[in-house]
Amino acid sequence: MEHASEYVLFKQNIGPSLCIDETSLNCGELYTVVTNRAGHGGKGTLVTMIRGTKSEDVIKVLEMIHVSKRKTVKEVTLDLSPTMMRIVQSAFPNATMTNDRFHVKKLFYESIDELRISYRWMARDLENDEIQRCREQNIGSSQKVCG
C-alpha cells in the first residue's frame, strides 16, 4: 500500500450512518477520518483516514468508493465545519447532515457564557452608577437610602 502515507480506505466498511471529523495525530498534522457508526469503534468502523482536511483531497479519496455505494449513505454526523459539509454534500449526495452534539453544546455554552459576562458588566456598571449617585447626594453607607 504505497498510498498508505496519504490515505487508507476500507470500502467494505461503508454503511448508512457515518461520521466525519478531523483529528491531529502527530505534531499538529491533521487527518480527516470517516467512520461507520454501526462499528461502535470496533472492527469494521474505519472507512477512511486521509492526510489533511482539504475538501478536494478528501472527496477524491471518497470517490474511489463506487457512487452506488456512496448513495446508500443516509446520514453523516459532522462538526459545524463548512469544509466537512462540502465533503458530505459532494461525496454522499443522499445523506442528511447531522451536527454532532459536542459542537452544538459547545456553541450553546459559549453563547450562554457571553450573556453571563455581558450581564455581569451591566450589573457592575449599575452598581458604580449607584455609588456615584450616593456620593453626589452625600448619602453615607450607614444610611439605608442608598444601595
Residue 121, number of CB atoms within 10 A of its CB: 10
What domain count does the chain have?
Answer: 2
pLDDT for the residue 141: 57
> Can you tell me the distance from the alpha carbon of 79 to that of 46, in angstroms, rounded to the nearest whole number?
18
**Which tens digit of pLDDT belongs to each residue from 66-92?**
999 999 999 999 988 999 999 999 999
Domain that residue 59 falls in: 7-99
Q: What is the mean pLDDT of residues 127-147?
A: 76
Of 42-56, 72-86, 98-112, 132-146, the poorest mean pLDDT is in: 132-146
Residue 100: closest CA among 112, 88, 90: 88
Do 20 and 83 reside in the same domain of the chain? yes
Q: Which residue has the cell 455581569?
A: 120
Do 55 and 84 reside in the same domain of the chain? yes
In a domain, 57, yes or no: yes
Residue 142 has pLDDT above 80, yes or no: no
> Can you tell me the distance from the alpha carbon of 108 to that of 114, in angstroms, rounded to the nearest whole number?
10
**Which tens digit of pLDDT belongs to each residue from 11-39?**
999 999 999 999 988 788 899 999 999 89
Residue 136 has pLDDT above 60, yes or no: yes
pLDDT for the residue 122: 93
Do 32 and 65 reside in the same domain of the chain? yes
SS3 of residue 21 by DSSP: strand
